[in-house]
Amino acid sequence: MKINNILEFIYPNRCPLCDCLLEHGIKVCDACRMQILYVREPCCFRCGKEVFDEETEYCKDCMDREWNYIKGFPAINYIDPLPHSLARFKYKNCRQYASFYADEILRSKGRQILAVSPDVFVPVPVHRKRKRKRGYNQAELLARALGKRLHIPVDTEILCRNINTMPQKELGQKLRTINLSKAFQPGKKIVEYNKVMLVDDIYTTGATIDTCAAVLKRCGCKEIYYTSVCIGKL
Ligand SMILES: [Zn+2]
Ligand SMILES: [Zn+2]
């Protein structure tokens, strides 16, 4: 057996989206490639979610609301086959997906991210106990993969998540905000960056990103943006 065959036997190459077996060197299966629904213009000026027409500047979530971040660059709409894939990335130790997802973010929003020209990527932190249990923070893996590709540093020290928050799903909107605002704090090492690009796997209500942006502003950072693999569809 050749070494490549042995490696493939031990670590079979699988599609990051549907988990089917792939030939060596192929990154994603054809069926999934066709299914990926990239976020396309026109987009909300704030969160980057698709809007229905060119006249709509902000989606209904961003209208009449003050945000701490300036603009977002989500890559893919959160519909099949993304939900199962992101769950494996987050909870099932499929950390190797980070490089595929970083490529997809750049394929979809690389031009816009480069146009912002951030000083640094900052991943949304997880609580250290959760990170220890899971072994990794998926947002940090994404930020590192993006940083490597664009030669932009990654800062994992500026933000920390210092209490185990209650599961957001079980709380109403108001309690969610309070719950989150207590969860994120400035970390040990503060740097007053000009432009920060927050990184997360998914943007849903925006509460997490915006709370992180508020903390970064308190740290003296000026402009906060975000990018994510997915955003919830309208
Ligand atoms: Zn597939
Ligand atoms: Zn929006």
20-63 pLDDT per residue, tens: 999 988 999 999 999 999 999 999 999 999 999 999 999 999 99
Q: Please tell me the CATH code under which domain 13-231 is placed.
A: 3.40.50
- Which ligand is the nearest neighbour of the Cα of 21? 1
Cα(45) to ligand 2 centroid in Å equals: 7
Ligand nearest to the CA of 48: 2
Which ligand approaches the C-alpha of residue 29 most closely?
1
Calculate how far, in angstroms, residue 48's C-alpha sits from the geometric centre of ligand 2: 6
What is the distance in A from the centroid of ligand 1 to the CA of 85? Answer: 10
Q: How much of the chain exceeds pLDDT 70, in percent?
A: 94
Whether the predicted pLDDT of 136 surpasses 80? yes
**Which ligand ends up closest to the CA of 234?**
2
As a whole number of angstroms, the distance between CA 89 and CA 96 comes to 8
As a whole number of angstroms, the distance between CA 228 and CA 26 comes to 23
Q: 129-143, 156-170, 210-224: which has the minimum mean pLDDT?
A: 156-170
Tokens for 3?
Answer: 């070494």
Q: Looking only at Cα atoms, what is the longest distance across the chain?
A: 63
| Ligand nearest to the Cα of 49, by number | 2
**pLDDT value for 152:** 98
pLDDT mean across residues, the chain: 92
How large is the angle between the packed helices 207-218 and 173-183, nearest 10 degrees?
A: 40
Ligand nearest to the CA of 85: 1
Q: Is 56 exposed, middle or buried (0-12, 13-18, 19+ CB in 10 A)?
A: middle
**The whole model's pTM is what?**
0.92
Query: Ligand 2 centre from 46 Cα, in Å?
Result: 5
Q: How far is the CA of 94 from the centre of ligand 1 (A)?
A: 15
Banded model confidence at residue 179, pLDDT cuts 50, 70, 90: confident
From the CA of 75, how far away is ligand 2's center (Å)? 14
- The pLDDT score that the predictor gives to residue 10 is 73
Q: How far is the CA of 98 from the centre of ligand 1 (A)?
A: 16
* Centroid of ligand 2 to alpha carbon of 234 (angstroms): 10
Task: Give the start-to-end residue ranges of the domains of the chain.
Answer: 13-231
Residues with CB under 5 A from ligand 2 (ion): 44, 46-47, 49, 59, 62
